[in-house]
Amino acid sequence: MPKSTVCSRRKPSAKREAILDAAGEVFLEQGYAAASMDNVAARAGVSKATIYAHFTSKDDLFRAMVRRRCEQGEVFAPPSRPADARATLTALGRRLMDLLLSPEGLAMYRVVMAESARQPDLARAFYESGPAAGKEQIAAIIADLARRGEMAVADPWVAADLFVGMLRTDLFMRALLGLPQPEGRSLDGHVATAVETLMRAHTPPEKEDRP
């Protein structure tokens, strides 16, 4: 995968980067409509006219900001050395929860969903480089576990979907709504429950050993 010096169709002008950073903060905090170009300019430390020298409109700036934040490589690395299904899924689940519950990630979900009606292509780009890419990587790891006989999986994509779904429960919904998390349950316990349920439904016959 290309990582740097490739696809730099624009030289990384310092001001341009500052504007994009500021736009990220303002749009993600306030939403597209409530955010103002004056606000972005102030937070970037430039004048409003400078923004319009780099971007043709508020819309253009918003799209550039979202697209830049979508450019991220592999977020779910396969385990460095082969491990059993429970350990692999637990690490994976924990990583997913951290991503889902990060403030920037949550804000991104909110703002893109809010604008999805007016920016269908942007919503698609976000989905494909975010949730879809992540699920694809998880499905690949599950497929590998199945290949090694650690799990009995008919369709790795369905299994990945179930796994992500069991992790992205009320906890995620509450986070998206900005509500405080209930104190009782820990993230690790939450992940363990999902892993256990998935394993019970996908344990290969020769490994059957109920606790």
Partner DNA sequence: GTCTATAAAGCGATAGAC
Partner DNA sequence: GTCTATCGCTTTATAGAC
What residues line the site for DNA (CB under 7 A)?
A: 13-16, 35-39, 45-50, 52-54, 56-59
- The stretch among 7-15, 54-62, 73-81, 105-113 that binds a copy of itself (CB under 8 A) is 105-113
Cite the DSSP H helix spans in 71-155: 85-101, 103-115, 120-127, 133-147
Task: Tell the smallest beta-carbon distance from residue 5 to a copy of itself (Å).
Answer: 32
**Residues 210 and 109 sit within 8 Å (Cβ to Cβ):** no
Q: Which residue lies nearer to a copy of itself by CB, 78 or 131? A: 131
With 0-12 CB in 10 A as exposed, 13-18 as middle and 19+ as buried, what is 182?
exposed
Q: Does 75 bind a copy of itself (CB under 8 A)?
A: no
Q: Which two tokens stand for residue 19?
A: 């504007």
- Could you give the CA distance from residue 210 to residue 207 in angstroms, rounded to a whole number? 9
Among 84, 104, 170, 188, binds a copy of itself (CB under 8 A): 170
DSSP H helix total and E strand total for the chain: 11, 0
Least Å from the CB of residue 130 to DNA: 25
Task: Give the residues lining the site for a copy of itself (CB under 8 A).
Answer: 29, 31-34, 109-117, 120, 123-124, 126-127, 131-132, 135, 158, 161-162, 164-170, 173-174, 176-179, 193-194, 196-198, 200-201
